[in-house]
Structures are given as C-alpha cells and as structure tokens.
Amino acid sequence: MSHGQPKKPQPDHEISNYGQVLAVSSALNDGNVRGKSVEFHSPVVPTGLGSAAIDGDPITIGEALESVAISVGDKAVDQNDAAAISAAEIRASGETTLRSGGVGETAQAAATFNSHVMRAQDMKKLSDILTDATEKLPVDKAVTKEDAEAVHAAEVQFPRRREAAEVVAESVGVAASMATAADLNERN
C-alpha cells in the first residue's frame, strides 16, 4: 500500500483566476459563459431606508440622520456631531434656534455628558439620538446642497481631539450623510 501524496484532482475545465475579467453580456443570448450554463438574476435593490433615492422621492434630513444611526450609530456623540445634528434640525425646521427637547438639544446634552464620562460603554451613542429622527423632527424636508454645506460648516467648527488643531469632517457621519443625500437628490 502506497502512502505517497494523493494526486490532486484535475479539473475537466479551465479554472478562472481571481481578478480575471470575463466579457458577459447582460442579454446572455445562449445562456452560456465559457461553456458553462448560467442564469441571470436581477440585482437585489434594498427597499428600506434610503429607497427614496431609488423610487424618485427626495431624501429628507430626517432620513439622512437615520442613516447615520444605522451606519455609525455605535460612535459616541462628540461636540462636532452635536453641532452638525443641531444644524440639521435647524435646517429642517427653518427656525433660527433649537427646539426644546429636539434632536439637536438632545445631541448637545449627550456631547456634554460624554465629555465627562471615562468609560466608552457609558457614553451616549449616535444611535441613541438619531434612531427614528424623522419622527423626532417637528418638520422634515428634502436635503439640499445648501443644507449639506451648513451642516458641514457646523461639524468642522470644533477641532477633533485626534486631529489636534486640524478642523475636518468625518468621512462618515452627519455631514457626510447630508452631502450624500443632497447629491442623490440633485441627481434625481
């Protein structure tokens, strides 16, 4: 009995390497690609949050804030976030001051609370503030480029600790979500 290396099974077809690009027509006239039978499946289009951009309805400020709760909701609220959330609420309402008990005031209180807390698990998170933001805003409206710019300006008014004296917006967060929503609204 031989105890040598077992032979590697040889494929009966050519193996495609990672990164190899195959020319495939979406029409798939004969249902074959490189001699293999294939089926065409329609792409899955999410219909939950953010579907407004897909179905043609503009994305609102409340929806943009809710997307932050979903995408980076576990981030602790800091002063920059609170300023951006406050600016978003003011842009949605058209008022010049924050509404008592609104998302902006709640975000400000959370940022102040977090500045005195030592343990990360005890800090207030963005999801605590922004979940169901559309219901928490007294008035909601479609995000415009001007709204996104105002929220960005509010978010960068305070230097973030890790950037020392640099004043930058997060690549994900309130200002980024508003900018994306404004861009999608402008395209549709």
pLDDT at 15: 52
Structure tokens belonging to residue 42 = 């329609």
Per-residue pLDDT tens digits of the chain, which is 188 residues long: 555 655 655 555 555 544 444 554 444 455 555 566 555 444 444 444 455 555 678 999 999 999 999 999 999 999 999 999 999 999 999 999 999 999 999 999 999 999 999 999 999 999 999 999 999 999 999 999 999 999 999 999 987 655 444 545 567 899 999 999 999 999 98
pLDDT at 188: 83
pTM (2 d.p.): 0.69
Distance of alpha carbon 35 from alpha carbon 123, whole angstroms: 57
